[in-house]
Amino acid sequence: MTPPFSVAIVHYHLHRGGVTRVIHTASRCLTEAGIPHVILSGDPDESGAKLPVHVVEGLGYGTEPGGPSGLQLVQAMRAAASATLGPGPVVWHFHNHSLGRNRAMADAVAILAEAGDAMVLQMHDFAEDGRSVNYEVIADAETLYPHSPRIRHAFLNSRDRGYLVAAGLPAERGVLLPNAITAPALVKPLETAPESALVLYPVRGIRRKNLGELFLLAALSPKGTRYAVTLGPDNVRWQAVHEEWLAFAEDTQLPVMMDVVGRLAPAPKALRTYSSWLRHATHCITASVSEGFGLGFLEPITVGKPLLGRNLPAVTNDFSEAGIVPGRLYDRLLVPASWVGMETLRQRLVRSLRATLEAYGQAMSNEQLDRSFAAMVHKGHLDFGNLPEDLQRQVIHRILAGEDADNVLVEIRAETQPLRGWLKRTLKQTRPTAKPEDMAAYSTAAYVERLQQLYQAVIEAKPAAPEYVPKHKVLSRFLKPGSFHFLCT
């Protein structure tokens, strides 16, 4: 039976990446469920997938003045939806409308809210979360986060939902909408098990992915262990950091390979494809210090690869609630504070924290500085993952010089042990900590059921004048004292 509504999915673009993949999955799920829909995008779908895409001029990235207004964008979207879907009620499903990539989109959402339209506003990323350049675009927008009985805010993790609820979003209008998980590639097992571990980091090498941690692990791993990062950054903002790590790999000869897919092969005569790298990998790793959903924690399970790396409770707590242990994870990698120098770290913190806060129009208080500094120190140690890259390299050079390698500790649930011994044992473990059948909560069947419930709830609710979450309260949650992270700036 065809539902009494249709859906218009709205995003800036359909370039390769996480949000596009989510939209592709949603479109296929809606098609299988018999829900009429269209994808409105500022650019064509570069994947070539045969999905119902309609390009709307003005939806793409646009931070400069001179583009269409919010009202003009609403008119264009309404016309596109009507031409594709025909008459009848529409649920608007926006992705990242508040990210600061197009002010007109944020204004359009507020106009639709005032008109009483049914909407799902899905948040993958936040301008308030280490994206100060984006925030400038929407800094004076007081209607950024509308809510009403006909609007639901959809979040990838409980932390983000908690931030918005604490800022004033009624709890019943904020829901979790985790991504559906499907295997990223078909992986045929190798005929002969490799002699040494190949640890694959299937990400783009941007700053928050904490590339330096791979070099630290490589310096302390058993001989023959190799680490590989699949892709380089496609944003010019992160290319300088990536180039510095490439130079460091050349300088130190540590077994860390960067941007390998399409450029290098994982073994002699092997293909250079992602599938080939995944097939040859003995383990996957995550070292990221910030994630929205945490796809990298779950995808290895679908292809039978064991995962090791850095735990992110903001996202993995949701997996635990679903009964999933995604991998062998640590909470911190600790190095003696004396290796860096407390005064050096504090001076770096003063500069970086002040610059970050000023970029958001905030002044740095003594309380903010003191609490941020205190949060970095752990019983005379520092978490390697929250050091600037040059200080990370300083630590690794010390280890390579043969000094006190066993003073590098891994912390797991408040217990510490030498990292080198933990790595030796962990890299011998070749079985994942979960099975594909454990992933039912993140199946496409579960995902389409969540979508249908969301759409049904907003389309059946009676229109009411929207209210707005105070934007400054949202910002204060992301900038709360003690939350600063060097690699998230």
pLDDT in tens, 13-46: 998 888 998 999 999 999 999 999 999 999 999 8
pLDDT recorded at residue 186: 78
pLDDT surpasses 70 at 294: yes
Average pLDDT estimate for 221-235: 95
HSE of 461, CA atoms in CB hemisphere, 13 A: 24
Give me the sign of the Cα torsion angle 61, 66, 69, 75. negative
DSSP string covering 416-445: EEEHHHHHHHHTT--S-SS-GGGGGGGSHH
The per-residue pLDDT for range 146-189, each reduced to its tens digit, is 999 999 999 999 999 999 999 999 999 999 999 999 888 778 88
pLDDT recorded at residue 4: 82
The per-residue pLDDT for range 405-464, each reduced to its tens digit, is 999 999 999 999 999 999 999 999 999 999 999 999 999 999 999 999 999 999 999 999
The per-residue pLDDT for range 383-408, each reduced to its tens digit, is 999 999 999 999 999 999 987 899 99
pLDDT recorded at residue 47: 84
Rounded distance, CA 222 to CA 8, Å? 52
pTM of the model: 0.94
Rounded distance, CA 337 to CA 83, Å? 63
In DSSP terms, 93 is beta-bridged to: 9, 120
pLDDT recorded at residue 449: 96
- Using an 8 Å Cβ cutoff, are 228 and 198 in contact? yes
pLDDT recorded at residue 306: 98
pLDDT surpasses 70 at 329: yes
- Using an 8 Å Cβ cutoff, are 466 and 148 in contact? yes
Backbone torsion region of residue 48, taken as left when φ is above 0, otherwise alpha when ψ lies between -120 and 50, otherwise beta: left
What domains can you pick out in the chain, each with its CATH number?
6-179+443-488 (3.40.50.2000), 198-437 (3.40.50)
Rounded distance, CA 206 to CA 141, Å? 29
- Using an 8 Å Cβ cutoff, are 254 and 224 in contact? no
Phi first, then psi: what are they for 226, rounded to 5°?
-120, 150
